[in-house]
Amino acid sequence: MTHRPLLATVLGERQERPPIWIMRQAGRYLPEYRETRTRAKNFLELCYTSDLAVEVSLQPLRRFDLDAAILFSDILVIPDALGQKVRFEQGEGPILDPVAAETITALKPERALDHLAPVLETVRRLRAAIAPEKTLIGFCGSPWTVATYMIGGRGSTDQAAARLFALRHPDAFAALMDILVATSVDYLVAQLQAGADVVQLFESWALNLDDTAFASHVIEPNRRIVAGVRARVPNAPIIGFPRGAAGNLARYAELTGVNALGLDYATPLDFAGKHLPATLPVQGNLDPLRLVAGGDQLDRRVDAIIDAFSTRPHIFNLGHGIVPETPIEHVARLVDRVKKG
């Protein structure tokens, strides 16, 4: 089998130099993405039109020597597939018709995979299109993060609507999480069967939870997804990215069973050595704004990150998604420095 450095790293094999991919590497900082985006009437149509989604997924690999392609989609295709109304407003981000305790039973998990068939077709076509040594990454949003949008109707800085819902309506919240866990398992298994080499769980809103809520809302659902996927795809490689988990990171890594742990940019570089098993692969964690600023500070930080994780399996990445104002030449500089040292 062709050696895929990024996949090998997820599975625990330290490489001579860290493989690299970039969260949101297919996005608005690329002029070719902006042109392709105009060919779809809205963002969800872009995600569901395989011709366009494949094109967008491949664009960053044509510009940069990245070690992976990631499926172009969105974490909110799951609520959309469940029958919740989802739309993306220019300048406002995603807007959903919020679920209520009494409307959760109206969700339709039995229709989800059929609805997501175009996304799975994109995965199949991507695996055929990318070079054999490149890793193909699939993903979904983790249940807590997806639930915050489903309950709150949009993103928020404190996820207060979802946090209160979970406290006031624990049975309804548990039912929603059960639906999201089961649907996520089906979706990730289908991605792996369609050709994804590894899948990532995006827990984008892991912050703002106390330790009890973090255990029940983040760790347990992610653990169930990992176990559910591996029951059907033995030894499936899975990256967990619990952004903002802070002091809960080690517990998340231990209890969920993910192969590799994504670190956000607020995680100190000495954290892994002090708190994580020496053999646990980590991914991260450059501040996206350092990539915007560029220059010598970018080089120094890249070197510091590589040095900090040099004794363990490490995938170089940002600590969150690349931002639209990022200069393309800074991305090229980053990739070149990681690749050549």
d(CA 202, CA 140): 6
- Greater model confidence, 127 or 2: 127
253-282, pLDDT tens digit by residue?
999 999 999 999 999 999 999 999 999 999
Q: Which residues are catalytic?
A: 24, 28, 37, 74, 149
Q: Is 93 left (phi over 0), alpha (psi -120 to 50) or beta?
A: left
In terms of Cβ atoms closer than 10 Å to its own Cβ (0-12, 13-18, 19+), residue 257 is: middle
pLDDT of residue 100: 97
Cβ atoms of 166 and 173 closer than 8 Å: yes
40, two tokens: 């779809």
Nearest Cα residue to 302 out of 326, 284, 282, 286: 286
189-220 residues labelled b (16+ CB within 10 A) or e (exposed)? bbbbebbbbbbbbbbbbbbbbeeeebbbbbbb
pLDDT of residue 318: 98
Tell me which of 87-91, 111-115, 160-164, 297-301 is least confident.
87-91
Nearest Cα residue to 50 out of 145, 122, 140, 106: 122
13-50, pLDDT tens digit by residue?
999 999 999 999 999 999 999 999 999 999 999 999 99
pLDDT of residue 203: 97
Half-sphere exposure of 253 (CA within 13 A, CB side): 21
Half-sphere exposure of 225 (CA within 13 A, CB side): 34
pLDDT of residue 89: 81
pLDDT of residue 92: 77
| Interval 169-197 mean pLDDT | 98
Domains of the chain, earliest start first: 5-340 (3.20.20.210)
pTM exceeds 0.85: yes
pLDDT > 90? residue 90: no
